Each structure stands twice: as structure tokens, then as C-alpha cells.
Amino acid sequence: MATLKDIASKAKVSLATVSRILNEDPTLSVREETRQLVWDVATELDYKIKRKVSDVKTIAIIQWIASDEEEHDPYYFELRRSVESFWINKNVNIKRFYKDNMTAVFDEKIDGIVCVGKFAIQQAERLQKHCQHIIFVDSNPNPSKYSSVVHDIKAGSMALLEHLVAMGHSKIGYIGGREYMGEANEVYIDKRERTYLRFMKESPFTKFDERFVLLGNFTAETGYQKMKEALQYDDLPTAFFCASDTIAMGVLRALGEAKMLDKVSLVGFNNIAASMYLNPPLTTVELDTRYMGTLASSILNLNMETNNTRTTLTHIATNLIIRESVHKIKVY
């Protein structure tokens, strides 16, 4: 079990500073960066703050993927961690659940639920029956019934596609993944894929070729294997839209092995920390997971404090990050 000394050592601050920050001492004068660092380290080390049971609310954080999957998914890992950091700061009791133990939440007395990821309607209905205060982060199974905070994925996808066209690309491939929700494994078709298909079929400046819509899952292995498949064709697209930066990492490896890095342009999605250090640095769309998790938790906290169950829908704008992975080509 983590101690204050462990947190102080990792955050490189004094034991007294850690104690005063975690106990929300109003007389403490410290930089906001230091305060946030201490909370982040406390979250990472799973530190439990002791409070009187009668004063403590219990929040369930439900991650839609399995715990071992989260270890390899930087997007959902950071999103869950941002939610957790908020509630640690509020000194509440946190119960964490994953796909592999999600039903255990029904055995707990819960004051609020934050659902991270994609959930089937049946899952959402059952969770709301168990706890009326609930919010979804990253998707919404039914916007007419449930509050949510999501990124504007469609706008981010359009920004990438329009950038590729502006750089002279008309033949653009897509490498993405399929995801499955709930006990029935309902297929979830990603908004990036849907936006890509509509854009490519309707734009007068593009040439759609269904051979280069390549689907697997959201891993680097998918990117690597699907690009190796695409490289078997002589009429390869000049650019590929990857549904995640992780997929793009695998694509870059395959292109590097084939000595095609200067022939094929690439864009990703999420702007994970490693994306700027790839070769070449990756053009992508930034998703602010920390802000999204904090905002969703803030809305739930307000609803709990005011006993409000009104549906709130929040869309967060994305940000196009232009780097060196897209080459400008001549248009004849």
C-alpha cells in the first residue's frame, strides 16, 4: 500500500507538502503544477485517503475495456486516470471496474458512476437503474437519456481529410479497427471510419477504392499487418488515414521496412505523447483526455450536489497538429 513518503519521493517534494496538499490545507502556498503533480502521483500509486465513512461518497469508474487491454491503450488509460485524479482531489471513495469485472458494481452502494468508453444501451439502462447519477465519457449510448462528454471526432476527421486533399492527395486509404460493446458484442462502427467513407465517396476531389479500407483492431500490429497487405498492390494510395496514432506506429514500421516512407503520407488520431517522436513526426488530431475526464467528473459532481438528473451533452473541439508525415504532391 502506498504511503505519503512514497508520494513525496516520486513527486520530489517534502512529506509535509504532500500531506498538506492531500488534506487540502487552505493556508498552503504552492504552485498549481506542484499541486497537480502530487495528485497525479497519488492516483498512479493508488493512494487511499482516510476519511470518516459517513462523510465519504463512493464513485464508480467503469472502464469499458479489460484491465490488461488498458495497459496497451494510452488513450483509455489517460482518460480513466484523468477521471480518477478529479475524484481523488474531492476525497471520495473510488471503486474501479473493468470489462472483466463490471457486474461487480451492482454489489456496491454507489453515489455516482463515470462510464469510460463505449457502452451498449442495455448496459447503460442497467447501470442507471442501479445509480441515477451517471455520465458517459468518450461516447453516448443514447443522447436523449444520458449525459456525456465527447470529442468532436467528425470535425477532427474532416480536418485531417481536408488537409490531405489540400496537400494534393486524392487517393487516400484508411486503416482502422472494429470495436464491440456489451455482453452481445454489438459492433461499433467508429465515427472516423464513417466520416472517411462519406467524404471519400462524396468529394469531387477524391478517388475512393474499397480495397484500401483495411480493418483490424486499434493496435500497432494491425497497422503493420494491414500496410504490408496494401503494399502488395502496385497502385497504392499516396496517403493513409489511420484511426489512431498507435495504428500509425505499425504502419510506419511497415513503410520503413519497404523503404516507402517518402512515397506514402500518413495521418493519425489522438496525438499520444510518442507521436511527435516518430520518424517522421506524425500529423494527427489532438484529443485532450485530461480536460474531457475532468469536465465529465465536474458535471457529475454538480449533478450529485444539486440532485439534478437533467441530461447534459458536451462536445469538445479537437485540434489539428500538422507535422512532417504528410508530403505535398503535385496535382496535374
Going by their DSSP bridges, the two strands 284-286 and 319-321 should be labelled as: antiparallel
Residue 331 binned pLDDT confidence (cut-offs 50, 70, 90): low
* Cβ neighbourhood burial of 304 (10 Å; 0-12, 13-18, 19+): middle
Determine the pLDDT at residue 271.
Answer: 95
Residue 71 binned pLDDT confidence (cut-offs 50, 70, 90): confident
- Domain boundaries defined on the chain: 4-45, 58-151+289-317, 153-287
Cis check for the bond before 143: say yes or no (omega within 30 of 0).
Answer: no
| The domains spanning 58-151+289-317 and 153-287 adopt the same CATH topology | yes
What digits encode the pLDDT tens for the residues 190-224? 999 999 999 999 999 999 999 999 999 999 999 99
Higher pLDDT, 199 or 16: 199
Average of per-residue pLDDT across 132-148:
95
Length of the chain in residues, anyone?
Answer: 332
Alpha-carbon distance 190 to 69, whole Å? 18
Determine the pLDDT at residue 51.
Answer: 54
What digits encode the pLDDT tens for the residues 101-139? 999 999 999 999 999 999 999 999 999 999 999 999 999
What digits encode the pLDDT tens for the residues 243-301? 999 999 999 999 999 999 999 999 999 999 899 999 999 999 999 999 999 999 999 99
Cβ-Cβ contacts under 8 Å for 300 (sequence gap 6 or more):
59, 112, 114, 133, 134, 135, 147
Specify whether the CB–CB gap between 66 and 44 falls below 8 A. no
First and final C-alpha spacing in the chain: 65
- Taking domain 58-151+289-317, whether its CATH number is 3.40.50.2300 is answered by yes
The CATH class for the domain spanning 153-287 reads alpha beta
Query: Which has the closest alpha carbon to 231: 206, 261, 254?
Result: 254
